[in-house]
Every structure is written in structure tokens, then in C-alpha cells.
Chain A
Amino acid sequence: MNHGMALDILLPILIPLAAAALSLICWRSRALQRGISVMATTGLMVAAVVLLVRVYDNGIQVMYTGNWPAPFGIVLVADLLGAIMVVLTGITGLATAIYSLATISKAHEHYGYYPLMHLLLAGVNGAFLTGDIFNLYVWFEVMLVASFALLILGGERAQMEGAIKYVTLNLVSSAMFLSAVGLLYGLAGTLNMADLAEKLAPHQDNPMVQIVAMLFLVAFGIKAGAFPLFFWLPASYHTPRVAVSSLFAGLLTKVGVYALFRVFTLIFPLGDSLIRDLLLGMAGATMLVGVLGAAAQFEFRRILSFHIISQIGYMLMGLALFTPLAIIGGVFYIMHHIIVKSNLFLISGLVYRLQGSYDLKQLGGVYRQHPWVGILFLIPALSLAGLPPLSGFFGKFIVIKAGVEAEFWWLVAVALVVGLLTLYSMIKIWAEVFWKEMPEGSTASVQQRGGTGLMVGTVVALASLTVLIGVAAEPVYQLASATASQLLDPPGYINAVLGDRS
């Protein structure tokens, strides 16, 4: 199982890193940067798919960087969850790269948009593929600084305000994370996650271990945008360029969710613990508060931002229930959500291109003028609300089924109500932006710039994926199921990294 030199696992990190360095070297040429961007994200997606296939066929892949044995060096580990996340990053990255060609201004391109984008992707992929808890922190930092820089790119006042909140609260997360890593190292003397899992398995009741687990919950909870730690998200996501928002919406919080899944299946498996109870409560509150937040908004991207939070609740619910089916549901939900959410943001940008506003009160009549845009919106929107036969339905169905089987009635009830309220928000957008006539005296106007075809193409591709995940849910379910089995089998992970221990 230990193909120490498998290149597959390295490429999803190396490609965007190299692309970032190259774009920096070529910072004088926009054309070169654009070319690098499309080629690198395409390559990234191919590499990601290759990796996923490799992991699916051959089991967990490991690379011992520097050829140092685990747990002394840093290992890269690709299990199914990691590989799936990398594929999703690839999809989102490619979509964003293409969409960016049409929407990012020359000045932004000149001042480092592309290197920042590549590094964000590198950070995200690094986080998904590392098997070392401190290295995870490093990738979190890459991600944080890259996203912060993307947020302030342009330097508008709203951006600054959002970015300050974003970076401050995320630094709190970093501080908690780093403290937790430090304490953990003090306890177990190691940073390798497999090694940690093995060493801490007999000490799960140790109070200090539980405190560290709690710190991880808080640190990743902030990253994931869970209640009551989500404030940074709605404060900032609607301020940057739509391509950036879309990238953030698809990936950033999901890295937090991924980290929660990783840490609380491998290092601190959730039993009937305090943390599990807390996580259950957080899941419910996150869903509810997020969806209510959206109901109060009248700005396209703000509504979408709040919905990210409520959707995170479903994923947390999958983790917190901690039954095989629930984990399957959580993984399925992540796959569905990333694509849908990125796409909705891209569509908000498309509407902006057509009418020049994000304000529901200024918009109107898009369905009359551009029925296809209407349909393109309805697919991800209804999927987000969990209507069949789109991807979101099955995600919700599995999670709720798991909740019913585990007999967490209140959580099931919350999840159902939240589904209904999600529909409410999506229908609000639909009614206001697409059905309603353009209000009189609206300041909206068409934004003239080329490349709308590229934007539509991206949106169509992602919408097709949403339909596909719904209609062909079986293979996706199989994948999620295999992933859940791996997650619930820490010894499998430990053996893959540290060699067979039995």
C-alpha cells in the first residue's frame, strides 16, 4: 500500500504552487498569466481525478516527503475523503479560472490575482492531503493569507471592512489551532496524525486530550462557519469579485468541515462524548441561524452567504450523528454543496453582468429576457433547497434518514424546517430577480464587457454536474459509502501511514 513515491498525490499541491510561482515570474504579461491559469487548473482537475481513481482502486496513498520515515518527516496522505475534496477543488478551481477570464479586470490581473488564486487552491489541496497536523496548520495559513489578499484586492472600503473582520476572526481560529497543536505535541510528542491517532486511542478520557479536542472544535468551527463562530463569513463574502466569492463559497468553509471530519474520526473519534453533544447542538443551531439570516437579506450574495452557514449545519449533522449512514450523508452533502454553492455565486455574477446590480429590489424580469438564465438558476437553487431529483435532495435524504434511524427527532425536525426555509429564500430570489418586472426607477443597467459566453458555459457545466449527481446518485453514493468506511476505520489509516501494526 505504501507507494512512497506516488506522484499522483503530489501533483494537486505542486501544480498550483508551481503555477503561482510561474505567474509571479510572468507578472508583466497578462496573456501568459491567463494561459498558465487555465492550463494549471485544467491540469489540477485531471490530476485530482487520477488521484481519486488511484485511491479508489488501490486504497490510501502515502508520500513520505523528503524520504523521511513517518512520524519524523511530513507525510502526504490521500484517502478517499481527501481525494474527493481535491477533485471538488479541481472542479471549482477550473470553473473559477474560466469565469475569471471574463470578469476580472486588467488591474486585478496585473496585481497578482492569478498567483493568489493558485495559492488559495494550493493551500486548500495541501490541507486535504497532508497527514501532519502542523503541516495542516501551514496550509491553513497559506489559505488564510491568500484569501485575505483576494478579499482586499481592489481596496474598496466595503472590502476593507469585510476583510478586517474576516482576518481578525480567522486569526483567532489560527491561534486556537496553533495552541491546540502545541498542547497536543506536549501530550503526545508527535505531529503525524496517524501517530497521534494511535497514541491517543487509549487516552480518549484524559481531560487534557478532551480539552485539546475542544480547542480543535473551536478552531475548525470558526473556519467552517459554525454557530456561534460564523460572523466573519457574512461580513465578508459579498464584498470581493464574484469569481472570488464563488471560490470562497465552494471551498473555504469546507476545509474547516473537512478538518472536523478528519480530526473527529481519526484522532478524537466521536463516541458518546461531550463534544458529540455539542456538535449536534452546533449543527442544529448553525442550520437554523444561517437560514434565518438569509431570510432577512435582500442582497443576492448576502442571501447566498448566509445559506452557506445553514448548509454547513447539515454537514456537521452528518458528522455529529456519527453513524455510517450519517457520515455517508455528510460526505454526499459536501460533494453536492460545493458545486451548487459555487455555481449560485457565479450566477449572481451573471445576473450582475446582465442588469448591473445585486440588490433584489433593483433587479427584475430576468426570466422574461433570458429564460435560460432562469433555468440555470433554478437547478442549483432548487437543489440547494433539497428538491428532488437534484443532488441536494439525496444529500438531505441521507442525512435525515440517518437522523431518523438514530432517533434524534429534534435535529431531524430542524433539518426539515431549514429545508423549507431554504426554499423560501431561493424562491424569494426567483420571484424578485426572475419573475418580477424590473421595478420602475431601478438604477440597474447592463454591464458591457465581453466573455459572457465563458460565464454561461461555466454555469452550464456546474449545473449539469448538479443534475448528474442527482440522477446518477448511485455511483456517488457508492463513493461516499466507501469514504465513510475509511473514515470509520482509523486503524486502516494508521496502517497505511505507519506500516502494518498488526
Chain B
Amino acid sequence: MLYALLGGFGVAALAAWLHRLTGRHSGWILALWPATLLLYFLSFLPDINSGTVLFFYDWIPSLQIRLSFRIDGLSLLFALLISGIGLFIVAYAGRYLEGHRDLGRFYVILLAFMSSMLGVVLADNLIALFVFWELTSITSYLLIGFNHEDASARRSALQGLFVTVGGGLALMTGLILLGQVGGSYELTELLDNGDAIRQHALYTPILLLIVLGAFTKSAQFPFHFWLPNAMAAPTPVSAYLHSATMVKAGVYLLARLHPALGGTELWSALLGTAGAVTLFIGIWLAVRSTGIKKMLAYSTVMALGTLTLLIGIGSEQALAAAMAFLLAHSLYKGALFMIAGIIDHETGSKDLRDTGGLFRAMPVTAVVAGVAALSLAGVLPMFGFVAKELLFESVLDDPRTWLLAMVVAGAVMTVAVAALIGILPWYGQPVATKKIPHEAPPALLAGPVVLATLGLLGGLFAPWVDQHLLAAATSAVAGTPVNPDLALWHGINPALGLSLFSLIAGLLLYRWHDGFRTATAFTDTLAKRGPERGYDWLMAALVRIAETQTRFFQSGYLRYYLMITLLTSMSLVWLVIGMKGDGLRLHLDLRDVQFHEAVLIFTLMAGAITAARTTSRLGAVAALGAVGFTVALLYVMFSAPDLGITQVLVETLTVILLVLVLFRLPGFLKLSSTALRVRDAIVAASVGVTMTALVLFALDARLYDSISHWHIAESLPSGYGRNMVNVILVDFRALDTLGEIFVLALAAIGVLAMIRLRAEDKRHE
């Protein structure tokens, strides 16, 4: 099992090389991998009704992240679709993109996607599922932007990625919460634990977060807009990712978690509403489109809405309908997309209005398109019909009549779309196309032929499909064994009536679709204000906010940086003093101050103020020197002769250094206004006052005696020196000194490099 999944990434890694090796027929060669997978998954089919098969591999046991996989009806249905359609897509891509310089890269990403998608539907561990989920988003991004020199493709790719990954983050949080509430990340345990989860206080946030993730992935309103834009990808990608597989991941997740989360009013309301709205908006926009791929994309949105709606209704019948609809849709939509690609490939046309009368040139394609379109329209005896009957029956049973209205309206328009695609390009007057049309080569036709045929066979042998796959899938979604009894013919009942009605009304709509399109043009303005505008607005706002706040914080002026840093520090200190400062006392006792000490302090302050206020550089140096020498005197007075001597020497050298530098500097300019200087003085004073206050507080807050008594006692007997300062410097704390002499050396190298390197650069210029 692990090989089946991770092997795909290995094959993907080799794909570019294999492509170079096998040249023209690389498509068929690489299709061997999905074919193998298909056979592997088919081998599970006979036993699928006897229960779930589980596989366990450890990954990160400490975080309960395991590579555990399950095969039950639902995952097998998806796995078969992914590998089966994948097989034809790879072969198709080999021909469709033949000679494209990036075909090798294309295979790599496509195969990586296939493995990721299989991971999503097979994973039993929620986090593993999420890992694969995100991988599908990334591979989808790379595929939408496959023609990456085109700016609009890049934009669409980003949009798809942003929406799906954004939802993915919500999903991740939801899954973490779910794992926390359910006590495990394993679906096997969670699915049996539904009652406890539904009654938990966190149920609502969990549901909302997971639903958000699923909706973005499966393009539910109001996140549907990225999907039509994703059609910037090459057609095999649209057929595979954005119709048959990836966009169904959200639906898969909802179906998968139905036993754990489903069945509540919130579930039904959320999914039912979103599904119905998505369904309606999707098919509405589909009828209004003229681009073949756009139309198919919007009808995919419709299908995704339908699936969400059915899972939301959640009755056994609805779930069965969902599974049937899912299968039917993947078959006919995969076929129709590949046919759209064939039309594009053979005629150069992407728009319905540029086609017509193609039957003569490409009869096989036309017939296949017709068969697939019949299934889309839900006409007897196609599998699409079976699905549609079930859909009507499920919605008829739901008390919400407005759902029924939406579904029927959707069905009518679906028939119209099917007719547009199944009839318009092929019959009637031939339209001159960019290329002279030819019948498509086998590699392109294989997929549509097989998928369309399966759609027909599925209808004819509906009970067989039911018993061998869909019953198991429905049971997996329902959480209990279900026997939906799929059949082609349900007898004469209201659902059949609705079917007939939608068929007739749909054909009428097709007959007058030009008029319809003109009459409904007003909705375009509505659509322009739709959620995509919201997305654009958000992205623009993001950049604007980013720029504004960055201009504010990262202004480029050191004085503001310094001011914010200092004021933040001081306010934080005062915050502590204000909130916790009970018991702090300023230890200020001036009685013992001697006269000469006062004089020194006065000199010190005068020096500092002069240095800050003077307008002459030399004056500033002199004032600073005065400060330095006074400090040295203070050291001596408080019996620290070493420090005093050092200070004097350092002061001397500093003055020399300053003098060396000073006469190279430009004249002293008074740039800041008085107001600014006052502001700066306030900031500086606040720091000074705060620090002084802290020192005075500290004098009164001593908790322990210093350890320095040990140093005094041990200096001579252990350190063999009477000068304790020196013993500390070279022995007790020699490591500090070692560090500091390296600091000195660093400073020297820095100055040297700065001056000499610049001089050398100048010489080179």
C-alpha cells in the first residue's frame, strides 16, 4: 500500500527522465503506472462488501501522525476514479502537449498530484490526509500556472492556491480540534464516535472550520470563482484535477466525516444551503458561457453543489444519490473536458460560437461527445439518468421545497448545457476554424471513448454497479450498512415526471438560448460584484495595508526607531511599576553627601548638558572628556584605582581618536527645530529618570548578599594575588576578559576594514 502511494512520487521524480528516454510515446509509457494502480485497486473490489481494509505505517507516533490507510467503499470508489481517469489523462497529455518543451515537467507534477490525491482519499489519519490535501493544492498551483509566461495564468494559479490553502488552514485547525475532541486522528476511531463529537461544546467550531476547508477546495459558493479561472491550465489538467478528482476532495471529506459530524441541523442547513446556491449559480453561469471550458467548469461547480447538497440532506437515499452522481459526473465530465481539449487541439477553437459542423471531420469524437452529453443531461439509459432520478427522489423527500425548485431549475439548465455541448459544435453549418479539423488520434480519443462507454454501461447495469461498489461507498458515508438498490428503471413516479419536465424545458431553453443569454445579460453586472471582487479587493487591501504599516513602522529614520524602542522600553517598565509596584521605595538619602562629591556630580551634569547643547564639535569633545575624567575621579574616590586609571587612559585615547576623526567631518549644522529638540530631550530625560529610579528602587530591595565576599576572601590564598580586581579579570572570571579582548580585536579589524577597503575601492574606480 505504502509503495502504491509513495511509489507514485518516485515515478514522478523519474518522469522527466523517462520522458526524455521514450520521446513521443512517453504518455503511454508513463500511463503504465496509473494502470498498475488501477489493477491494484481493482483487486480490492471483490471483497469490498466484507468491510474496511486498514494499513498502518508509523510516521510521527509522538504526534499521533501515522501513515495509516483505509480501503472501504468510499475510498475505493475515489481511488478507482483517480487511477482510472489518471491512466487516460497521462496518455492524453502525451499527445495533447506533444512537442511542448515542458512536457517532462508536466508529467512530474501530474504524477505527483495523482499520488497526493490518492493519499487524500486513502488516508485514515486526519493529519496524513491533510498533508496530502495540501500537496494537491500545491501541485494544482503548479499545473494551473503551467503556462507560466502568461501573466493571467500566474494570477489564476495564485488565486486557486490562495483560496484552497486559506481554507486548508481552517481545515487544519478543525482537524486538530476534531482529534482533540474525538481522542484520535484515526478515522477508524472517530467515525464510531460520532455521537460524542456531535454533543461536544466544540462541535460547531469544528464543523465550521472543516466545512470552510471543504468548501474552498470544492469551489462552493462563495469560493466558486477560482475554479473557472483554473481553466488557464492545459486541458488534461482541467479534466483531471478541476473536474474529476481534486475539486471533489472537499466533497470527499464531507462524505468521509459524515458519520462523525453529519446529521445535525447545522450540518444540513450549512451544506444544503451552500450546495443548492452553488448548484444554481454554477449552472446559471454555465448556460451564460460560450467558452467551452468555461461552460464545463461552471457545470462542474453545479455538480459540486449538487454533491454537497445531497450530503447535506444526509438521508440514505441522498447519500446513495451522491455516490451515483459522483461516479456519473466523473465519467461524463472527464470525457467532455477531454473532448473540449480535442476541439481546441484539432480546430484551434475555444469558443462554442467558433465551431459547428464538425461531425463530418471528426465523427467518432462527435458520437462520443453525444453519449457523454446524454449522461450529463440525465437521459435514459445513461448512468447520469440513474443519478438524476435519485437526486430528485432525495430532494422530494426533504421538507425544504425551495431546494427542490433550485434543483429542478438546475436540471433544466443542465439539459441545455448538455445540448449546447453535445449538438452545437458537431451539427449544422460548418464554421471556418483556425486549423483544418481532423479526427483525433487514439491517445486523445481513448479516454473519452472509454469513459463515455462506461457511463452507458453503468446505466444499463446499474444494479451490478450498485452491488459491487456503490452500496459499499454509500454505507461508508452513512456509517451503517445501506442497500440503496440502484436500478435504471424506478417505475413511473414524481421523479420521472421531473426528469421528463427538465428534459423538455431544457431542450426548449437550448432552442432559444441566444435569446435567453441576451435577456439575462443583466446578471453579468451582478456577477462582477460577486465574491471574486471580494477576493480582488482583499488582495489589493493586503498590499495597501502592508505598504501603509511598513511605511509607518519601517520609516527609514533612525530617530524614530530609537524613539519607539526607548519609549516602548520605558513604558513597559512603568507598566510593571504601575501594576505591581506596591512596596517599591525610592532610596534617596542626601544627608551623607560630602561637598566635594556634590561638586563632582555638578561637573558631571554640566559636562553632559554642555555636550548635548554645544554647537561646536570641539566643545562637545571637551565636554565629554570632562565627563569621562570626572567619572574616573569618582572611581578613585570609591576606592577602585584600577578602574580609575583605566578610565583616564581610555579617555585620553578617545579624545585623540575623536580629534583625528573630527577634522574630517563636515561643519556642524543645526538641523532640528527647537520643538524637535524639546521632544528629544523629553525622550532622553524619560530614559534617564527611569534608570535612576530603578537604581534607587534597587538600593532598597536587596534580597541576598553579594557573593563577592568569596572573591575577597579567596583572592590571595587561591588566586595568589592581592589585587582582587586583577584576579577576577585574569582568573576568577577570565572567560569574560577573554571575550572582551576579542571584542577589542574585532573593533580594530572593523575600523581597519571599513577605512582601508573603502580606500581600495576608490582606487579601483
Interfacial chain A residues near B749, Cβ < 8 Å: 24, 111-112, 115-116, 149
The closest CB in chain B to the CB of A478 belongs to B62
Which of the residues B707, B743, B761 comes within 8 Å of A71, measured between beta carbons?
Answer: B707
Q: Name the B residues within 8 Å of A421 (CB-CB).
A: 542
Contact A207 B576 (CB under 8 A): yes
Say yes or no for B758: interface residue by CB 8 A criterion.
yes
Residues on B with C-beta less than 8 A from A107 are: 757, 760-761
Q: Is the CB of A207 within 8 A of B158?
A: no
**Contacts A289-B549, A293-B553 hold; do A412 and B173 have CB atoms under 8 A apart?**
yes
State which of A168-176, A243-251, A336-344 sits at the interface with chain B: A168-176
> Is there a chain B Cβ closer than 8 Å to A416's Cβ?
yes
Question: Is B145 located at the chain interface by the 8 A CB criterion?
Answer: yes
Known contacts being A138-B740, A141-B743, A214-B572, is A371 close to B561, with CB within 8 Å?
no
Whether, in the assembled complex, B565 has its beta carbon less than 8 Å from a beta carbon of chain A, the answer is yes
- Contact B166–A436 (Cβ < 8 Å): no
A315 in the interface (beta carbon within 8 A): no
Query: If the complex has contacts A155-B758, A215-B573, are A420 and B169 also in contact, measured as CB distance less than 8 A?
Result: yes
Q: Is there contact, CB below 8 Å, between A68 and B757? A: no
B746 touches A145 (CB 8 A): yes
B438 at the interface (CB under 8 A from A): no
Interface string of B716-740 (1 = CB under 8 A from A): 0010000000000001111110111
Q: B589 an interface residue at 8 Å Cβ cutoff?
A: no
- Nearest Cβ in chain B — how far from A85, in angstroms? 18
Is A260 positioned at the interface, with any CB of B under 8 Å from its CB?
Answer: no
Interface string of B113-128 (1 = CB under 8 A from A): 0000000000000010
B554 and A234 within 8 A (CB): yes
Known: A119-B746, A435-B145. A382 touches B138 (CB 8 A): yes
Is A335's beta carbon under 8 Å from chain B?
no
Let me know if B568 and A229 touch, CB within 8 A: yes
Residues 31-73 of B, flagged 1 when their CB comes within 8 A of A and 0 if not, give 0000000000000000000000000001111110100000000
> Which residues on the B side are within 8 Å of A195 (C-beta)?
707
- Beta-carbon contact of B732 and A211 below 8 Å: no
Are A189 and B758 interface neighbours, CB within 8 A? Answer: no
Known: A154-B757, A274-B575. A211 touches B694 (CB 8 A): yes
Rounded to whole Å, the gap between the CB of A474 and the closest CB of chain B is: 5
Per-residue 0/1 for A298-317: is the Cβ within 8 Å of any B Cβ (1 yes, 0 no)? 00000000000000000000
Within 8 A of A (CB), among B152-176: 154, 157-158, 161-162, 165-166, 169-170, 172-173, 176
Instruction: In the complex, identify which listed stretch (B129-137, B267-275, B397-405) lies at the interface while the others stay far away.
Output: B129-137
**B731 contacts which chain A residues (CB < 8 A)?**
66, 68
CB neighbours (8 Å) of A86 from chain B are none
The CA-CA distance from A371 to B757 in the complex, in Å, is 37
B266 within 8 A of A: no
B753 at the binding interface (Cβ < 8 Å): yes
Interface size on A, residues (CB 8 A): 113
A199 within 8 Å of B by Cβ?
yes
**Are B158's CB and A427's CB within 8 A?**
yes
A477 and B63 contact, Cβ closer than 8 Å, known pairs A68-B732, A388-B131: yes
User: Is A172 a contact of B565 with CB atoms below 8 Å?
Assistant: yes
B532-569: which have CB < 8 Å to A? Answer: 542-543, 545-547, 549-550, 553-554, 556, 558, 561-562, 564-566, 568-569
Cross-chain contact B739 with A135 (CB below 8 angstroms)? yes
Q: Which of A33-41, A51-59, A399-407 contacts B (4 or more CB under 8 A)?
A: A399-407
Provide the residues of chain B in CB contact with A203, threshold 8 Å.
Answer: 703
A176–B135 alpha-carbon span in the complex (Å): 46
Q: Which of B255-263, B351-359, B481-489, B580-588 binds A?
A: B580-588
Among the interface residues B547, B691, B703, which one has the most CB atoms of the partner chain A within 10 A? B703
Kindly identify which residue among A71, A72, A388 contacts B130, using a CB–CB cutoff of 8 Å. Answer: A388
Contact status A207-B732, CB under 8 Å: no
* B572 and A481 contact, CB distance less than 8 A: no
Chain A positions within 8 Å of B733 at CB level? 73-74, 134-135
Partner of B558, one of A164, A405, A419: A164
B180 at the interface (CB under 8 A from A): yes
Minimal beta-carbon separation of A324 from chain B (angstroms): 12
- Minimum CB–CB distance from B63 to chain A (whole Å) comes to 6
Residue B750 interfacial (CB < 8 Å): yes
Rounded to whole Å, the gap between the CB of A131 and the closest CB of chain B is 11
> What residues of A have a CB within 8 angstroms of the CB of B651 in the complex?
none
Is A222 among interface residues, defined by CB-CB distance under 8 A? Answer: yes
Considering the chains assembled together, what is the distance between the CA atoms of A200 and B702 in angstroms?
12
User: Is A461 an interface residue when CB atoms closer than 8 A count as contact?
Assistant: no
- On whether the beta carbons of B745 and A24 are closer than 8 Å, the reply is yes
Interface residue B697 (Cβ < 8 Å from any Cβ of A): yes
From known contacts A116-B749, A211-B573, infer whether A179 and B703 are also in contact, taking CB-CB under 8 Å.
no
Flag if B63 contacts A398 (CB, 8 Å): yes
User: Are B742 and A17 interface neighbours, CB within 8 A?
Assistant: yes
Chain B residues near A276: list those with CB within 8 A.
none
- B684 contacts chain A at the CB level, 8 A cutoff: no
Interface string of B680-704 (1 = CB under 8 A from A): 0000000000010011011101111
Contact B750 A149 (CB under 8 A): yes
Question: What residues of chain B lie closer than 8 Å to A200, measured between beta carbons?
Answer: 703
> Which residues of chain B have C-beta atoms less than 8 A from A387's C-beta?
134, 138, 165
- Given the known inter-chain contacts A153-B753, A274-B576, please indicate yes or no for A222 contacting B565, CB distance below 8 A: yes
Q: Which of A134, A155, A474 has the most CB of B within 10 A?
A: A155
Contact A20 B546 (CB under 8 A): no
Instruction: A217 to B568: give the CA distance in the assembly, Å.
Output: 11
A214-B572, A231-B564, A474-B60 known; A111-B558 Cβ under 8 A: no
For residue B746, which residue of chain A has the nearest CB? A145
Q: Which residues of A contact B703 (CB under 8 A)?
A: 187-189, 199-200, 203, 206
Residue of A nearest to B560 (CB): A231
- Indicate if A493 sits at the interface (CB-CB under 8 A): no
B734 and A122 form a contact (CB under 8 A) = no
Which residues of chain B are within 8 angstroms of A371 by Cβ–Cβ distance? 105
CB contact between A119 and one of B576, B711, B736, B742 (< 8 Å): that residue = B742
Contact A229 B565 (CB under 8 A): yes
B755 interface residue (CB < 8 Å to A): yes
A235 within 8 A of B: yes
CB distance from A313 to the nearest CB of B (A): 14
B177 within 8 A of partner (CB): yes
Report the Cα distance A366→B608, complex, angstroms.
57
- In whole angstroms, how far apart are the Cα atoms of A398 and B172 in the complex? 11
Contacts of B698 in A (CB 8 A): 183, 186-187, 208
**A231 to B695, Cβ gap below 8 A?**
no
Q: How close is A78's CB to chain B, nearest CB, in angstroms?
A: 15
Residues on B with C-beta less than 8 A from A142 are 739, 742-743, 746
- A231 and B704 form a contact (CB under 8 A): no
Q: Are B753 and A231 in contact (CB under 8 A)?
A: no
Q: In the assembled complex, which residues on chain B have CB atoms less than 8 Å from the CB atom of A424?
A: 162, 542
Is A454 close to B, CB under 8 A? no
Residues in chain B near residue A289, CB distance under 8 A: 549, 553
Bound: A24/B31 CA distance, A: 62
Bound CA span A295–B134, Å: 22
| B706 interface hit (Cβ, 8 Å) | yes
A-B pairs with lowest CB-CB distance, top 3: A149-B750, A155-B758, A189-B706
Q: Which residues of B pack against A, CB within 8 Å? A: 58-63, 65, 105, 127, 130-131, 134-135, 138, 141, 145, 148-149, 151, 154, 157-158, 161-162, 165-166, 169-170, 172-173, 176-177, 180, 542-543, 545-547, 549-550, 553-554, 556, 558, 561-562, 564-566, 568-569, 572-573, 575-577, 579-584, 691, 694-695, 697-699, 701-708, 710-711, 714, 718, 731-736, 738-740, 742-743, 745-747, 749-750, 752-758, 760-761
Q: 9 A–B contact pairs at CB < 8 A?
A: A107-B761, A146-B746, A149-B746, A164-B558, A187-B698, A187-B704, A200-B703, A400-B172, A412-B173
Given contacts A186-B701, A207-B581, 20 further A-B contacts (CB under 8 A): A111-B757, A134-B733, A145-B747, A154-B753, A187-B702, A189-B705, A199-B704, A206-B703, A211-B573, A218-B569, A235-B556, A235-B561, A274-B575, A292-B549, A292-B550, A295-B543, A295-B546, A296-B546, A394-B60, A477-B63
